[in-house]
Chain A
């Protein structure tokens, strides 16, 4: 199996960088086409996301019901915590790129072998084909859910600078989500029960990213563990910037630097593991 990839990889390395990236474009448009076949999915994704947001938003609003107007626990106002939890859910929608499902399924079925014959890198193919999923989820699910809650509950509008920082940070959080899901999908090389692995990933990521409880409200030791993990950069990091909960330029730079560090680290890790997995890959049949 490994022999087959060698000529392809060598050929793609020789080509000009622009041509190399162009080779991946069809995977992005292909991803979009297969997505549009099931348009009703967006409605149900929206219902699921709105329900998930409502559970945490109402739970924490009940906590902040009696808090003083200057700010309750963790320095959040009632509007502030609502904005945090709602935007956390919107980020969660953007992170649902289905990469874990698809990689696990293709490894499990052996379809990944077909990919290896092509002169492209499989992880990069996955990155490109998840781009339309993320964009469509943002436009068709994220925006309506945000609009719905903006009507129902008061929110805190962000400062222009903070909004800009948030957008930059969101791009890194998307890359982190992609890498975490890629690594989760790669467990398909080792186990057939990727359902269990994905469920653990989902709960652990949601908890340690600060999606259900902001890191500022966790007891100190737990918050320290959470901020040492890469998941913190997926939700709590971007929202720290959005709500202006950082100290000056250094504070903002720290959030972004952590994200970039984890993107680089997980990128290297998944490249190494991917190569190691291919070396011991056996595909049955055919």
Chain B
């Protein structure tokens, strides 16, 4: 058990290093990808700025609190983006073009094998950097003082959020085993995740329920931010359970999908 884990870890580091080599080979592509991302987040921040030119608070949240939320939402998203974006390829074309079998014949777990194709997507670094700057700056402006417990939990909150993003992505990508390509539904899910960048309090109640318990993006930023900003535990105690449930569901669908794929193959 530990030996296979160590072997996978070594492989992941090696393949991640190979991925970094692309940076030097496709410098313009990297600059365009990271630059595009900066423009997007920059304009998103500008929209928040323009909203708060009109009123001092939105849904009970002040300007710096909303910026904190926006920045925090980028951290799990960036972390997920960094390691698992190869799933987009699965949803886009791997099943459609019949290329998926190559992951089944390798002597490692098929999911690991798929992700290892490109273990490191440097575009995600931009998201992490911008998110950290926004959180740091707005936290400072708010005079936020975290307790030692909050400091200890903060990285865990980000990791759990990233796992929720990964689970949703894996679930929708796996649908391609039945529908051939699931790119449109992956887009739709990623569009829904944009809700997480703003306070949940402003949305219609039905939307709040959807974002908390169906596509649980609220747990990637809103719930952790409420805990960090106010110290109120409220929903945050559900976070491990929601993360575990989302992962279990996504992995279950993925496994069923692989079985389906084997059956349809020649």
Q: Do A and B come from one complex?
A: yes
The answer to whether B184 and A44 touch across the interface, beta carbons within 8 angstroms, is yes
Is A13's beta carbon under 8 Å from chain B? no
Interface assignment of B179: CB less than 8 Å from any CB of chain A: yes
A-B contact count (CB 8 A): 98
Interface string of A42-54 (1 = CB under 8 A from B): 0011011001101
CB contacts under 8 Å to A, within B1-40, are 26, 28-29, 32-33, 35-37, 39-40
Q: Does the CB pair A60–B28 fall under 8 Å?
A: no
B33 touches A54 (CB 8 A): no
Residues of A7-46 contacting chain B, CB below 8 A: 38, 40-41, 44-45
Complex-state Cα separation, A72 to B51, whole angstroms? 13
B32 proximity list for chain A (CB < 8 A): 191, 193, 196-197
Asked if A213 is an interface residue, CB under 8 A from chain B, the answer is: yes
Binds B, one of A109-117, A166-174, A200-208, A235-243: A200-208
The contact size tier of chain B is 20 to 34
Q: How far, in whole Å, are A60 and B191 apart by their CA atoms in the complex?
A: 18
Which residues of the other chain, B, contact A38 by a CB distance below 8 angstroms? 184
A192-B179 CB under 8 A given contacts A59-B198, A199-B40: no
Chain B 36-56 residues near chain A, CB threshold 8 A: 36-37, 39-40, 43, 46-47, 50-51, 53-55
Tally of contact residues, A, Cβ under 8 A = 38
Among A41, A61, A195, A203, max chain B CB count under 10 A is at: A203
Which 5 pairs of residues, A with B, have the shortest CB-CB distance? A196-B32, A44-B184, A196-B36, A199-B36, A62-B202
Binding site for B on A (CB under 8 A): 38, 40-41, 44-45, 47-48, 51-52, 54-55, 58-63, 66, 72-73, 152, 191-193, 195-197, 199-200, 203-204, 206-207, 212-213, 217-219
* B residues whose Cβ falls under 8 Å from a Cβ of A: 26, 28-29, 32-33, 35-37, 39-40, 43, 46-47, 50-51, 53-55, 58-59, 179, 184-185, 187-188, 191-192, 194-195, 198, 202-204, 207
